[in-house]
Amino acid sequence: MNDSAFHYVDGALHVEGVPAASLAEQFGTPLYVYSRDALTRAYRAYADACAGRKATVHVAVKANSNLAVLNVFARLGAGFDIVSSGELARVLAAGGKASNTVFSGVGKSAAEMREALEAGVKCFNVESIPELHALNEVAKSLGKKAPVSLRVNPDVDAKTHPYISTGLKSNKFGVAFGDARATYREAHDMANLDVVGIDCHIGSQITEVSPYLDAIDKLLDLVEQIESDGMSIRHVDVGGGLGITYDDETPPDIGDFVRTLLAHFEERGHGQREVYFEPGRSLVGNAGVLLTRVEYLKPGEEKNFAIVDAAMNDLARPAMYEAFHRIVPVMERKASARLYDVVGPVCESGDWLGRDRELAVEQGDLLAILSAGAYGFVMSSNYNTRARAAEIMVDGERARVVREREEVKQLFAGESILPD
């Protein structure tokens, strides 16, 4: 198990104090299950390492936007990082504060800017000169000054999957490093913008500290240039992206990671800077599993298939990134194992959840797909007119439905046929 919240007792998988099999029986499958304890411990690892320093934690909502998950973090005092006005609405509904929310994203609309300004967000992470002009005009129309930080693209290789690498010259994100100083001057000259910080985010599922240190060095060099131009940079946002263990990865301990980055600021003579962290996956990834039931075992000439009731519409990462998730039995069997591709019922060859997995399994058995708390339900869809899974939060020996399972009739409730 990747997290002590998920463990076996006498061969039966438990989520905290609740048998996973009982959750599947009560709530059905496919089923997302989260551990409140795992969420809490991950957040506290960040918060404790920031204690006594000018450093704050802003949870990346895009990794898991379930209201109960966000509420766990809000109760712990977290700030949030959003990329849409929809995510802002979720933060507010979950008990978070706009005043402790950073609005990121490469394509904010004027309507989203207006909503965020009226709500009073902490800062806008702006990614282009046209966006600066748009935000300045929206702020002017409201008689406000918008707090802004420029997301700078430091051209640092995060050494991760190309789809989740965001800090290279070829990526769509951020202001080019060579243009950043002039862009800050332009932002400073706009009457309805208040330049308060600098931001970068170099990618996701990063398992080494060195790319972060390289990015921080480039940012701090730039900060010194910007401040020599007469501007004041109050905070440095180092983004998120710290990886987790899906298989055999060895990412740094969260506390060690935070302390190493903060120490680097001090070594560079910038210990007085406020630092923002924007973790997502490292908070929620290993706090969730996806439970699924084996519908059929299908032997083949070259492959054996375990066909389950979860599919690529429930968990998109394997099909999208060829991502690896460990798959384990909910009830351990003593029978000999065979190699299976674990696949879903969606009508696509790309509908697979795990390849060449050694499993002792029979038809009707339950499997748990681990490390499914990040980019799991939040990326799910209704492809093949499949209703999305329910979500459950386990807290000790209690389990609560935190999102009801969809019904098929809901999927076309807003549609209509043509009149006669």
CA distance 120 to 101: 9
CB of 57 within 8 A of CB of 239? no
CA distance 74 to 352: 35
CB of 181 within 8 A of CB of 152? no
Residue 50 among the catalytic residues: no
CA distance 316 to 350: 10
Structure tokens at 311: 């599919």
CA distance 255 to 81: 20
- Placement of tokens 């390492």 in the chain: 49
Single-letter amino acid code for the residue at 175? V
Of 50, 123, 200, 347, the active-site residue reads 347
Single-letter amino acid code for the residue at 210? S
CB of 232 within 8 A of CB of 223? no
CA distance 245 to 182: 40
Q: How far is CA 205 from CA 52, 63, 161, in A?
A: 28, 12, 8
Question: Which among 273, 335, 254, 370 is positioned nearest to 13, based on CA atoms?
Answer: 370
CA angle, 148 as apex, 51 and 70 as ends, to 5°? 50
Q: What residues are labeled active site? A: 347
